[in-house]
Amino acid sequence: MTAKQTELAQVESEIEKLLDTLTGATPVLISYANAKIEELDSRRQALASEIAKLTAEAVSPEQIDTISNYLDDWENVSFEDKQQVMDLMITVIRATSENLQIEWKI
């Protein structure tokens, strides 16, 4: 997520630089800058969306403590609680007859 935030900051900086150069610009330069700004703004929106998704999926320190407590006594944890723990730890499971892939949140 930090890499996405860094890239977002770079894109926003580049947009700001382009906007700063528009003072006294010719119509051709303004047209070029507008096209570039639209491209950068699309990338900025995509990055912001990805960051929001990653943030929503992140596991909080409190949740990690809860998970740890459940794992310490896993044999005695109810099936429903085990499901909740797995929901906190796993984003998606993809299974075929030949392959099992788990995407972890932590």
pLDDT tens readout for residues 41-89 = 999 999 998 888 877 767 778 888 888 989 999 999 999 999 988 888 8
Query: Comparing 58-62, 90-94, 96-100, 101-105, which segment has the lowest mean pLDDT?
Result: 58-62
**Backbone phi, then psi, for 100, in 5-degree steps?**
-130, 125
- Express each pLDDT in 35-49 by its tens digit: 999 999 999 999 998
Residue 11 CB coordination number (10 Å): 20
Q: How far is CA 98 from CA 51, 94, 101, in A?
A: 33, 11, 10
